[in-house]
Structure 1
Amino acid sequence: MKKFLYISSVLIGAALFGCTDLDLIPEDTVTPESYFSNETELRLWTNAYYAMLPDADDLNDICADDVVKNILSDVLLGNRLPATEGGWNWGDLRKINFYFQHCGNCDDVNARNHYDGFSYFMRAFFYYEKVQRYGDVPWYDEVIGSKDNELLFKARDSRKVVMAHVMADLDSAINKLPEAHTPYEVNKWTALALKSRAALFEGTFRKYHNLGDWEEMLQLSADASLELIQKGGYSLYKEGSTPYRDLFARLEAPAEEIILGRRYSTELSILHNTQCNSMTGNQRVSFTKRFVDHYLMADGSRYTDIPGHEKKQFVDEVTGRDPRLAQTILTPGYVQMGTEKEMINTLSKYTLTGYQYIKFVMEPKYDQSNKSPMYYPLFRLAEVYLNYAEAKAELGTLTQNDLDISVNLLRDRVGMPGIDLEEANNNPDPYLKADVTGYPNVTKSAMTGVILEIRRERTVELCLEGFRQWDMFRWKEGKQFTHEFHGVYFPGVGKYDLNGDGRNETALWKDEPVSGLGLTKYQLGVDFFLTNDTEGYMWPHKDVKRTWDEDRDYLWPIPTEERVKNHNLTQNPGWDDGLSF
């Protein structure tokens, strides 16, 4: 069941309406004509919107080239089909449009502004997600009745038309929502953050997919981002010696950075699996070597420029890197919160690649399935910084000051040198430009180098927050999903020290078992595979075939059932549903 981002009034609403759909008004007590008459009724209705937002398990289920798990997604496996596509649903939109149809019953202007703004935000969010998935979709801004044939059998509107409506709805939300910082409730700054995100997605998607009219969207993203940066009053969370790790290992959202978070509660049994996925091996969620290679050295130099970096063993590989690496994956010296003993990399027990994540991990009492009560970030300032820098770079207008008020603040939080605009553009990273390891479709321009650096920063900073698949889609880099997923490197069978204390605690063997007490032993070809049999990288999904169709796979198919019902719905390019219209 989808978990609710809750506030106290949601509980009131649940008591009033029970567990049924909130667009069903009790017929024996109220009617739409008499409801929506005061602030309380508007609040109770719109609180149901929070269930429409993604939760931690939704976002952590997304695989891409940075994170893989035991069972790969249909996107990576090429298993999406028109006959089984299930995302073409409009119930949430009906609830929002039902509100707009009846909210005029309320004479309280202040209440109307607040909840009208929230409704505009949610309609924009709804359609942004639909455009991400399907491209062209029909735009509806009213409730459709069973006899409204013209609307029921409407054709799809172009994504450009729909996204223009999304931007207009967001502008209405920005103008109407309150400015107070409310990390668990949508406010003006949440609407600006969504505008920043949605306009960046649409602008870069149009640019890299040659759809035209991309500049205006990128400018809208840059402008919304800058307004939030300059006027929002938010700042980066910097407490403690490991601020990046601690930002995500908390029960409550830090209001200085989190613009909107989803709250969870042990007392109310509203929980998620984020910690369990790491600490018990549930789904074996694992980072890839491609992801780990994005991290710079602590002095700002490129790890992938080091001769022989490809074959560095685990301890050497993770030593001296950007501090966020050790605050994101289990590295030597890691001690779980609430404990005193150092945890050692156990390779295949919890992961498929040897790279176990510790982001979102707190005390061991939360290790079990569906026990994580930590808040989960939906919008935070760091993303807005990244959106701003990327939009300006893709427009070709990025300056050093733009970097210094955005991305470089993220690096400064962890003591990393900032991006130097001139140096980045004069010396683009060959690893990030390469066909297999990088982003071969990146814009070839005077800004190529800094665009690559911003992508590096986005990959590192926003991992496990639901962005990566969509970033690769909008950058037209889907072919990267077909490359082999690799993990930690081993030069051969034998004994290994994986925590750097000088003692071997891990052993790999193939035909002859390794002797020795206190060793965790793994048989190659049974416990896991290496790319060259007894030497190479850990190789999950060794025999799994993955395909990618550049002309088809950036959009989902329109469900066959919906096209049968409505012959005016065209199918997305490349998807064959057997229908002749």
Structure 2
Amino acid sequence: MKRTVFIFIVGLVLMACTDQLEQYPQDKISPQTYFRNENDLRLYTNSFYNILPGAVGIFSEKVDNIVSNTLADELTGQRTVPTSGGGWDWGTLRNINFYLENSVKCDDENVRARYDGVARFFRAYYYFNMVKRFGDVPWYDKVISDKDTEALQKKRDTRTLVIDNMIKDLDFAIEHLPADRTVDQVSKWTALALKSRICLYEGTFRKYHTELAVSGWESMLDLAIEASEQLMKGSGYALYNTGNPGKDYLNLFASIDPIETEVILARLYSDALQIYHYVNYYLTSPGQGRNGLEKRLVNSYLMLDGNRFTDIPGYEKMTFVDEVKNRDPRLSQTIRTPGYTRIGETTRLVPDFSLCMTGYQIIKYLTSPKYDQYDRSCNAMPLMRYAEILLNYAEAKAERGTITQEDLDKSINLIRSRAGMPGLNLVNANADPDSYIAKLYPAVCGENKGVILEIRRERRIELVMESFRWDDVMRWKEASACFLEPFKGMYFPATGSYDLDDDGKFDICIYKDEKPNAGDIQYYKLGVDIILESGESGNVMVNPHIQKIWDEDKDYFYPIPIQERLLNPNLTQNPGWDDGID
């Protein structure tokens, strides 16, 4: 822990000096006197950890998993071509390349290889974000002088070239980084996890985005399988499992210290050092958007016996108490369900619509009430964990067409077993694909359709609120199907009072005209505080008056800023984005 805190503090100090690090020459770190020993290389590469997202970049997932009282510009067609910024930022890359050009000054080749591995890991990480956002981007592996006109006026390189170079960087990192499992530093296993993630993304992106005509999706998925399998066989990581399927998933994310059995890389926080984030406040304050799970995600959780909830006749009109009975235990560890109490407390709590638009009130990451104030949470935030690798492996095998029951048993079914759920049967899944899930992903077809749909179900449930959903929908090219349907919450058959935790007492009253006196409960006026789909009955509607727009021809990429295109006329704009230059 002391090493972790030291690294974090050094990162903060170096982050404060980022502007100086991006301008050469530098007063405090001179390449003539620095980069000579392991301490120099370690301290400099520690600054790269600031590339990783902080807690808010992890838990504040939106789009169709978590919905709030506002909609992102991405979902309303409000994105425009920015004048500058917009994610087209190369300062981080310059910092990395500056290090790689100067680390040769260290005479210890083993030390240099190790920290070069750190740098090349983060260069791959950086470029992954750039490719996801913009598609083709220029590849730079050296510091660019302001006099290097050729490099500054460079065209965008193809995504295939950039991805190939990223994989070379990761292969170097895998070979030279230590095999020690260190939750706060990158290792061989962290590099393998990133390779698994990147190759799955790229393989499925190429497969489903046929309009780009980019070949090689099969080889990308093969690399994802290989990286995942290498980590699965040799790393020693395993799912956190104490044999308590009703608590293990919840405790994994509520833990103050990262559970290193499963967590490969995490952002660490500290109450003692007053290094905080605000996930508790985010989930318990009405001013944070009243975030809640969306109805279609709740519908996706299976029954406890493994059967599909959406196969039950009349599931669409089940009220809350009935719909959450006998479901996948991860549902009651992700949202408030009957009998819920805060960690360390005994008072039963019901869903609170003043804190949650949909009624499906989130508890994932939520710790004890003493951390509820703004910027007082300090539980660890997993960035990479073993469950993702298992999901990556299964999906890559299924999309590649090579998956077997044995593959499912050592991946998806371990995740289901931790949750106390029956395993997934390959033959049965493909014989009877889920029509409800298929509506979310109409592009899925072929003999493995059923198992691919089940793996996507599992991925969405297991990784909710970990900021995977946007990337997943982008690579599958399913934004129109996933994002444009109205976002909904709980079902109410009529106005009146309802018991939300099955204790025989009313908890909420939805009224039409005059406010009744039903006791000390939640009151919501129809059409003012709450909107139901069919007027006086139906599902709670979230932002029904805001039109959602998605352009399949342009919205899978972000636009290049106008200023960058003016400075470099060789930069082409992404399709469909009109910046007035061409």
The two structures have a TM-score, normalised by structure 2, of 0.95
Match of 1:112 in 2: 112
2:43 corresponds to 1:41? no
- After TM superposition, give the deviation of residue 283 of structure 1 in Å: 2.1
Q: Is the 8 A contact 1:399 1:421 kept in 2?
A: yes
| Cα pair distance change 1:526/1:402, threshold 3 Å | same
How far apart in 1 are the matches of 2:553 and 2:542? 28
Which residue is 1:270 aligned to?
A: 275
Deviation per residue, 1:94-141 (Å, 9 max, x gap) = 000000110001112222122111001000000011000000000000
Aligned length: 571
Pick one of 318, 321, 324 that aligns with 1:315. 321
Matched residue SS, 1:330:
coil
Deviation at 1:571, TM superposition (A): 0.6
Structure 2 matches for 1:275-294, cutoff 5 A? 275-281=280-286, 282-294=288-300
Distance (Å, rounded) in 1 between the aligned partners of 2:310 and 2:148: 60
Give the AA of the match of 1:459.
Answer: R
- Counterpart CA distance in 2 for 1:428 and 1:144 is 52
Instruction: Report if aligned partners of 2:10, 2:46 keep a CA contact under 8 Å in 1.
Output: no
Q: Given the alignment of the two structures, is residue 217 of structure 1 paired with residue 223 of structure 2, yes or no?
A: no
Match of 2:501 in 1: 499
Q: CA deviation at 1:61?
A: 3.2
Partner of 2:575, secondary structure, is: coil
User: Whole-Å Cα distance in 1 between the matches of residues 235 and 13 of structure 2?
Assistant: 35
Unaligned ranges ≥5, structure 2: none
SS of residue paired to 2:509: strand
For the residues of structure 2 that align with 1:370 and 1:69, how far apart are their CA atoms?
20
Evaluate the alpha carbon distance shift between residue 128 and residue 363 of structure 1 in structure 2; reply closer, same or farther with a 3 A threshold: same
Distance 1:257 1:446 in 2: 33
Q: Relative to structure 1, is the Cα distance of residues 213 and 44 closer, same or farther in structure 2, using a 3 angstrom cutoff?
A: same
Q: How does 1:77-476 map to 2 (within 5 A)?
A: 77-83=76-82, 86-210=86-210, 211=213, 212-239=215-242, 241=244, 242-281=247-286, 282-347=288-353, 349-434=354-439, 438-442=440-444, 444-476=445-477
Aligned-pair CA distance for 1:26: 8.9
**Seq. identity, %:** 49
The residue identity in structure 2 corresponding to 1:395 is R
Q: Where do 1:507-526 residues align within 5 Å?
A: 507-526=509-528
Contact 2:243 2:418 in 1 (8 A): no
Deviation of the 1:80 alpha carbon: 1.5
Asked if 2 retains the 8 angstrom alpha-carbon contact of 1:482 and 1:547, the reply is yes
Contact 2:443 2:478 in 1 (8 A): yes
Q: Are the aligned partners of 1:497 and 1:503 in contact in 2 as well (CA < 8 Å)? A: yes
- Structure 1 Cα separation of the partners of residues 336 and 307 of structure 2: 22
CA distance in 1, matches of 2:14, 2:465: 36
Deviates more, 1:148-157 or 1:60-69: 60-69
Moved more, 528-537 or 318-327: 528-537
AA at the equivalent of 2:394: A
SS of structure 2 residue aligned to 1:556: coil
Give the Cα–Cα distance (whole angstroms) in 2 for the partners of residues 31 and 423 of structure 1: 64
| Cα offset, 1:27, TM superposition | 5.3
RMSD between aligned residues: 1.6
1:388-410 superposed Cα distances (whole Å, 9 cap, x missing partner): 00000000000000001111000
Q: C-alpha distance in 2, partners of 1:12/1:61?
A: 26
Measured against aligned partners, the alpha-carbon deviations of 1:493-551 in whole angstroms (never above 9, x if no partner) come to 01100011122121110113222222321111111211112111111111001100011
How many Å apart are 1:166 and its aligned residue?
A: 0.7
Inter-partner Cα distance in structure 2 for 1:204 and 1:105: 41
State the alpha-carbon separation in 2 of the partners of residues 335 and 522 from structure 1: 24
- For residues 145-199 of structure 1, give each alpha carbon's deviation from its aligned partner in whole angstroms, at most 9, with x where no partner exists: 1100000110000111100111111101100100001011110000000000000
Classify the secondary structure of the residue corresponding to 2:74.
helix
Deviation at 1:71, TM superposition (A): 2.2
Report Cα offsets for 1:341-363 as digits up to 9, x if no partner.
0111122x101110111000110
**Partner amino acid, structure 1, of 2:370:** K
CA distance in 1, matches of 2:15, 2:37: 17
- Label 1:370 to 1:11 Cα distance change in 2 as closer, same or farther (>3 A): closer
**SS of alignment partner, residue 265 of structure 2:** strand
What is the CA–CA distance in structure 1 between the aligned matches of 2:464 and 2:332, rounded to whole Å? 13
TM-score for the superposition, normalised by structure 1? 0.96
Q: Residue 100 of structure 1 aligns to which amino acid in structure 2?
A: L
Distance 1:453 1:30 in 2: 52
Per the TM alignment, residue 69 of structure 1 is displaced from its structure 2 partner at its CA by: 1.8
Q: What is the CA distance between 1:9 and its match in structure 2?
A: 3.5
Contact 1:280 1:368 in 2 (8 A): no
Q: Aligned pair in 2 of structure 1 residues 27, 389: CA closer, same or farther (>3 Å)?
A: closer
Task: Say if 2:290 and 2:357, in contact at 8 Å, map to a contact too.
Answer: yes
SS of 1:132's partner is: helix
Give 1:7 shift: 3.7
Instruction: Check the 8 A contact 1:25/1:32 in 2, yes or no.
Output: no
Does structure 1 residue 486 correspond to structure 2 residue 488?
yes
User: Matches of 1:278 and 1:13 in 2, distance apart?
Assistant: 28
Give the CA deviation at 1:16.
Answer: 8.1
Return the alpha-carbon distance in structure 2 between the equivalents of residues 482 and 368 of structure 1. Answer: 35
Cα pair 1:10 1:44 within 8 Å, conserved: no
User: CA separation of 1:240/1:417 partners in 2, compared to 1, >3 Å: closer, same or farther?
Assistant: closer
Could you say if the C-alpha distance between residues 16 and 327 of structure 1 is closer, same or farther in structure 2, counting changes exceeding 3 Å?
closer
In structure 2, how many angstroms separate the alpha carbons of the residues matched to 1:214 and 1:13? 37
**Distance in 1 (alpha carbons) for counterparts of 2:484 and 2:358:** 17
- The corresponding residue for 2:548 is 546
Aligned-partner residue type, residue 458 of structure 1: R
* AA partner of residue 529 (structure 1): I
Find the aligned partners of 1:290 and 1:177 in 2 and give their Cα distance.
42
Post-superposition Cα deviations, 1:235-293, rounded to whole Å, max 9, x if no partner, equal 11013631000000011111110000110122333222222111223221211001101
Could you give the per-residue CA deviations for residues 336-386 of structure 1, whole angstroms, max 9, x where no partner exists?
012110111122x10111011100011001112222111101100000000
Deviating more after overlay: 293-302 vs 527-536: 527-536
What runs of 5+ residues in structure 1 fail to find an aligned partner? Answer: none
Determine the C-alpha separation between the residues in 2 that align with 1:233 and 1:198: 22
Is 1:6–1:50's contact at 8 Å kept on the other side of the alignment? no
Cα gap change, 1:92/1:30 in structure 2, threshold over 3 Å: closer, same or farther? closer
Is residue 278–residue 350 contact of structure 1 (8 Å, CA) maintained in 2? yes
Supply the distance in 2 between the matched residues of 1:378 and 1:369 (Cα, whole angstroms). Answer: 22
Query: Letter of the aligned partner of 2:495 in structure 1?
Result: V
